[in-house]
């Protein structure tokens, strides 16, 4: 697939989950793609740098200004500008950009950069967030709120060290992760032995932020995980996920856009940075295209996607993942946005 803008993949993950191993393989081994890596080290600038290598066409840029959370937007936008300027001067384009964070960095501000710094969007787009999870130690690591947030932000969850985990360990952790983030794809890998081409495929083309986001697999996946009798809304097994709540809203009537905007404002005020990720598609009254919703904490982007086709059943599907968010409150707020026709309301 050709991209007008360069796809960017954010790699995040638990401590020791294999981020450096993965990035080093992509930098060292032949795979035919021109990949640039932007990496940040929280608190320990330089430690990983010793292990990172620059070879051939690949480029590594380090964000050395400390915590990515504080300085990310400016630094990241500058780093991306530097990349595109240097590649222009040298007369080539990067096929892919990887942004590597450490196990304790919050990927939220990185994602927000792609929603807020619109100048970079002429040259780059966020393809997705891939969260690496050590399949052997994942359960104990999920005690940390930062790790749970990383699961919530993921478009893809990549279970590493599957060569060391037992089938029952893999099954148990897969089940728990699916409950925490029902919209993420779940894949597993042995980072030492998988061919590098396969490793690249595990990272790329997640389409987590595509403006023409039509999520057929996601829809299938979501529906497959829920009882057919209750498609409307459901918090996913909160007892397993500590305070992480993942919930899905679905509607088959159009929503009023103005009321929907008010609802999102209220949700952002109520939950602030606890509303980690919300996304989906909306059937809005008087709008020919489906609307694509991309939200990260207090940053929301609603854009027009593809036009509804004549034969296509129109619907709204929104997924929310956050810390201690109230599905009942979200459900009631979104139901109030529904435009119920007069005949339907009389009936
Ligand atoms: N057997 C096996 N070992 C792995 C795999 N992935 C990573 N490792 C090993 O796990 C250890 C930690 O890997 P790193 O790549 O340093 O992990 P990291 O996420 O960069 O670690 P931090 O930067 O400290 O968070 C290393 O010894 C790797 O060789 C895997 O899939 N299988």
Same domain, 177 and 316: no
Of 148, 182, 203, which residue is a domain's last? 203
* Rounded mean pLDDT, 194-216: 79
Same domain, 95 and 138: yes
Same domain, 176 and 226: no
Residue 306 falls within a domain, yes or no?
yes
> Which residues does a 6 A CB cutoff place in the pocket of ligand 1?
13, 15-21, 48, 102-103, 160-161, 163-164, 190-192
Nearest to 318 by CA among 248, 251, 231, 244: 248
Same domain, 155 and 28: yes
CA distances from 277 to 82, 280, 293, 322, 333 (A): 29, 10, 10, 7, 17
* Rounded mean pLDDT, 283-289: 92
Same domain, 51 and 135: yes
Residue 333 falls within a domain, yes or no?
yes
Residue 211 falls within a domain, yes or no?
no
CATH of the domain at 136: 3.40.50.300
Angle between helices 108-116 and 68-90 (to 10 degrees): 50
Q: What atom of ligand 1 comes closest to residue 132's alpha carbon?
A: 19
Same domain, 62 and 148: yes
Same domain, 164 and 141: yes
Same domain, 41 and 163: yes
Of 181, 203, 225, which residue is a domain's last? 203
Residue 210 falls within a domain, yes or no?
no
Alpha helices in the chain (DSSP H): 19-28, 68-90, 108-116, 138-141, 145-153, 167-180, 196-203, 216-224, 257-271, 327-335, 342-346
Of 203, 224, 254, which residue is a domain's last? 203
Same domain, 155 and 38: yes
Confidence of residue 68 (pLDDT cuts 50, 70, 90): very low
Given a cut of 80, whether residue 343 has pLDDT beyond it is no
Lowest mean pLDDT among 40-49, 73-82, 299-308: 40-49
Using a pLDDT cut of 70, give the percent of the chain over it.
77
Same domain, 54 and 114: yes
CA of 53 to the centre of ligand 1 (A): 16
Q: What is the pLDDT of residues 250-281, one digit of tens each?
A: 999 999 999 999 999 999 999 988 898 898 89
Given a cut of 70, whether residue 288 has pLDDT beyond it is yes
Residue 162 falls within a domain, yes or no?
yes
CA of 194 to the centre of ligand 1 (A): 14
**Rounded-to-integer distance, Cα 126 and Cα 304, Å:** 17
Same domain, 242 and 268: yes
Same domain, 175 and 245: no
CA of 165 to the centre of ligand 1 (A): 14
Q: Total domain count for the chain?
A: 2
Q: What is the pLDDT of residues 210-239, one digit of tens each?
A: 755 445 554 454 444 333 222 233 333 333
Question: Residue 72 belongs to what domain range?
Answer: 6-203
Q: What is the pLDDT of residues 93-149, one digit of tens each?
A: 888 999 887 644 678 888 888 887 888 888 999 999 999 999 999 988 888 888 888
In angstroms, what is the C-alpha Rg of the chain? 20
Q: What atom of ligand 1 comes closest to residue 162's alpha carbon?
A: 31
Q: If you take atom 21 of ligand 1, which residue's CA is the nearest one? A: 16
CA of 132 to the centre of ligand 1 (A): 10
CA of 102 to the centre of ligand 1 (A): 12
What tokens appear for 141 in the block?
Answer: 């690591």
ipTM of predicted complex: 0.98
**Rounded-to-integer distance, Cα 95 and Cα 113, Å:** 20
């Amino acid at each position: 697939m050709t991209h007008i803008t360069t796809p960017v993949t954010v790699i995040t993950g638990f401590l020791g989950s294999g981020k450096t191993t993965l990035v080093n393989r992509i930098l060292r081994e032949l795979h035919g793609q021109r990949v640039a890596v932007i990496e940040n080290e929280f608190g320990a600038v330089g430690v990983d740098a010793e292990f990172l290598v620059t070879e051939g066409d690949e480029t590594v840029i380090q964000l050395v200004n400390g915590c990515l959370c504080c300085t990310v937007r400016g630094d990241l936008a500058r780093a991306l500008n530097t990349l595109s300027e240097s590649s222009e001067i040298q007369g080539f384009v990067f096929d892919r950009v990887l942004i590597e964070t450490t196990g304790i960095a919050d990927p939220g501000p990185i994602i927000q950069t792609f929603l807020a710094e619109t100048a970079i969007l002429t040259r780059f787009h966020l393809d997705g967030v891939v969260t690496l999870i050590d399949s052997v130690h994942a359960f104990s690591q999920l005690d940390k709120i930062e790790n749970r947030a990383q699961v919530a932000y993921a478009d893809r969850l990549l279970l590493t060290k599957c060569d060391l985990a037992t089938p029952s360990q893999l099954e148990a952790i897969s089940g728990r992760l699916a409950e925490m983030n029902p919209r993420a794809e779940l894949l597993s890998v042995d980072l030492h032995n998988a061919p590098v081409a396969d490793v690249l495929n595990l990272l790329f083309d997640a389409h987590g932020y595509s403006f023409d986001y039509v999520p057929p697999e996601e829809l299938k996946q979501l529906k497959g995980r829920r009882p057919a009798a209750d498609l409307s809304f459901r918090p996913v097994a909160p007892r397993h996920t500590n305070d992480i709540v993942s919930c899905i809203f679905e509607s088959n009537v159009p929503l009023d856009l103005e009321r929907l905007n008010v609802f999102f404002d209220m949700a952002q005020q109520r939950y602030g940075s606890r509303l980690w990720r919300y996304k989906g598609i909306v059937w809005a009254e008087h709008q020919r295209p489906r609307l694509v919703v991309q939200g990260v904490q207090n940053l929301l982007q609603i854009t027009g996607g593809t036009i509804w086709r004549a034969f296509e059943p129109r619907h709204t599907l929104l997924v929310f993942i956050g810390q201690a968010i109230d599905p009942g409150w979200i459900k009631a707020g979104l139901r109030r946005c529904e435009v119920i026709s007069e005949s339907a309301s009389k009936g």
